[in-house]
Structure 1
Amino acid sequence: MRWFEIALVVLTLFTGLVWLLDKLWWRKQRESRAGLLEAKEPVLVDYSRAFFPVLAAVLCLRSFVAEPFRIPSSSMMPTLLIGDFILVNKFAYGLRLPINNHKIVEIGEPERGDVVVFHPPQYPKQDWIKRVIGLPGDTIAYRDNTVYINGEALRYVDGGRYVGKGRGAEATGAHLLFEQLPGRPHPVLERDDVPFFMQGEGEWQVPPGYYFVMGDNRDNSEDSRFWPDGMHFLPEENLRGKAFLVWMHWDGSAGGVDFDRIGSDIP
């Protein structure tokens, strides 16, 4: 999506500049040369005047209000499925400039359990989505498929065996559990057939200005547990926004549109 953001900014600036130059200088020059005749407006100016308000509105909405994203992987199953199209609140954690993501207005900070879109530190040009588990100053541990926050183990409610569909059918048979994260209970998946060394066990101290994030599909998520040494935590400046709504779902291998998911809140 980064290329689209860059193109949108460039086109908005270009059409706005053309419209402004015409308003201040070019129109007067055309009218003076035309005399009593009607001055013909150049095609470039006509298109710029027509498209600039639309492009500016889209840029502002996308940069400061809400931005659409598509879920390409299974790392957030069962909360988010492959083929979900989601909306991300762009002002929940402060207003940020497009392209460079620099924060210009402080508004809020992530809360434990938020599902966030961000630039991972090891792949700064990509957009990833995970759940905030650890806040600055927390001690997070993961042992025996259990999350510990500041020494306290989270409680889990058994939901039976998960049945996937479409591109998520490979998760069929995984344990469906409801993780009782304080203030934000949510479903997670765990598998029995994952080797011990892939489970991402360990303990981490979250430094100030950083967050510890995990996918809900615990055995199929490249999250903070597996990031390279020195990069286990998500920097605050890499946040893009808070995911809050599924506005469309399309999975061709499951029959196309799933109308039941449209309009679903993201827990």
Structure 2
Amino acid sequence: MDQPTPQKNLKGTWNQAILTFLFPIFLVLGVRWALYEPFVIPSGSMIPNLLVHDHILVKKFAFGLHFPFSDKWMFQWSKPERGEIVVFKYPENPDVYYIKRLIGLPGDEVVVQDGHITVNGMKWDLSPLAYTNAESGFAYYNESIDGNPHVVRFMTPEVVEGIAPKVYKVPNGHFFFMGDNRDQSSDSRYWGFVKNDYIVGKAWLIWLSCDATLPSMTFVCDPSQLRWNRFFQKLK
């Protein structure tokens, strides 16, 4: 007589299939939570260092780790430093992410006058710059803090003199941010300070950039409009 065909144990097969399906999802979520998260620049507030449709990677682990799905820090091993480009949650709507340059730390006194920044009595260097591919109607400057320069942009006339200084005292546990496109940036000068829990990470790298997106999919770069010279530029 024929021997009965043994039944396959499908339980192990299903477990393996589920694990195979879920593992890549958990891996991607884990990388986005703890290591790197991609963002797309939606506005010109950080011109000339970041352009609209620049795709960047943000180091989520640069300052610590938040609890998943929470603003609270699980571990925070360092704090952002002045001059760094940082991604954070917009204080007036934490569901929205902003990217700006860090100007003032907790306890700092920030004075903004005639385009110049002074922090705790120390004036940041600001020197005119002949900037490559500069748009007409704007003036570009090298701004430097602690010997680390970056480029900022003003609308002409370059720096309007005679404007009364504006003083900002940064509360404990908060930060003061400004965009590099100084006259066309919504930042801490207008909506206030950013609390420490809203810090997301340090902007690190431009990995993709384009002048325009596809009309049918506005979140996808048009392959014919790529800005190849911006690929893999580290941010500073």
TM class, shorter-length = 0.7 to 0.9
Out of 174, 180, 184, the residue aligned to residue 216 of structure 1 is: 180
For residues 51-130 of structure 1, the aligned pairs below 5 Å read 51-130=21-100
Q: SS of the counterpart of 1:63?
A: helix
Question: Which stretch shows the higher mean deviation, 41-50 or 150-159?
Answer: 41-50
Structure 2 letter corresponding to 1:52? L
For residues 29-40 of structure 1, the aligned pairs below 5 Å read 36-40=6-10
Structure 1's 119 and 201: CA in aligned 2 closer, same or farther, altered over 3 A?
farther
Q: SS of the counterpart of 1:251?
A: coil
Contact 1:161 1:172 in 2 (8 A): no
TM-score by length of 2: 0.84
* Distance in structure 2 (CA, Å) of the matches to 1:249 and 1:44: 42
* Distance in structure 2 (CA, Å) of the matches to 1:240 and 1:154: 26
* Distance in structure 2 (CA, Å) of the matches to 1:183 and 1:108: 21
TM-score by length of 1: 0.75
- CA shift at 1:154, angstroms? 1.6
Q: SS of the counterpart of 2:183?
A: coil
Q: Does 1:241 align with 2:201?
A: yes
Contact 1:64 1:91 in 2 (8 A): yes
For residues 6-17 of structure 1, the aligned pairs below 5 Å read none
- CA shift at 1:206, angstroms? 0.8
- CA shift at 1:179, angstroms? 0.5
Name the structure with the higher strand share.
2
**Which residue in the other structure is 1:160 paired with?**
130
**Which residue in the other structure is 2:233 paired with?**
264
Q: SS of the counterpart of 1:140?
A: strand
* Distance in structure 2 (CA, Å) of the matches to 1:209 and 1:52: 38
Q: SS of the counterpart of 1:38?
A: coil
Structure 1's 247 and 64: CA in aligned 2 closer, same or farther, altered over 3 A?
same
* Distance in structure 2 (CA, Å) of the matches to 1:200 and 1:67: 40
* Distance in structure 2 (CA, Å) of the matches to 1:88 and 1:161: 26
Structure 2: any 5+ residue segments left out of the alignment?
214-221
Identity %: 34
- CA shift at 1:101, angstroms? 2.9
**Which residue in the other structure is 1:49 paired with?**
19
Deviations 1:168-214 (A, max 9, x none): xxx533101010122431000000269x8xx9951111111111100
* Distance in structure 2 (CA, Å) of the matches to 1:201 and 1:172: 28
- CA shift at 1:151, angstroms? 2.2
* Distance in structure 1 (CA, Å) of the matches to 2:57 and 2:207: 7
- CA shift at 1:137, angstroms? 1.2
**Which residue in the other structure is 1:20 paired with?**
none
* Distance in structure 2 (CA, Å) of the matches to 1:90 and 1:68: 10
* Distance in structure 1 (CA, Å) of the matches to 2:231 and 2:166: 37
* Distance in structure 2 (CA, Å) of the matches to 1:87 and 1:184: 21
Q: SS of the counterpart of 2:189?
A: coil
Structure 1's 41 and 183: CA in aligned 2 closer, same or farther, altered over 3 A?
farther
Deviations 1:27-76 (A, max 9, x none): xxxxxxxx941144599856522221111111111110111111010000
Q: SS of the counterpart of 1:128?
A: strand
Question: Which stretch shows the higher mean deviation, 131-140 or 50-59?
Answer: 50-59
Tell me the C-alpha RMSD between the 2 structures: 2.6
Q: Does 1:181 align with 2:151?
A: no
- CA shift at 1:92, angstroms? 1.0
Structure 2 letter corresponding to 1:144? D
* Distance in structure 1 (CA, Å) of the matches to 2:27 and 2:76: 22
Name the structure with the higher helix share.
1
Structure 1's 162 and 73: CA in aligned 2 closer, same or farther, altered over 3 A?
farther
Q: SS of the counterpart of 1:101?
A: coil
Structure 1: any 5+ residue segments left out of the alignment?
1-34, 165-170
Structure 1's 138 and 203: CA in aligned 2 closer, same or farther, altered over 3 A?
same
Q: SS of the counterpart of 1:176?
A: strand
Question: Which stretch shows the higher mean deviation, 181-190 or 44-53?
Answer: 44-53
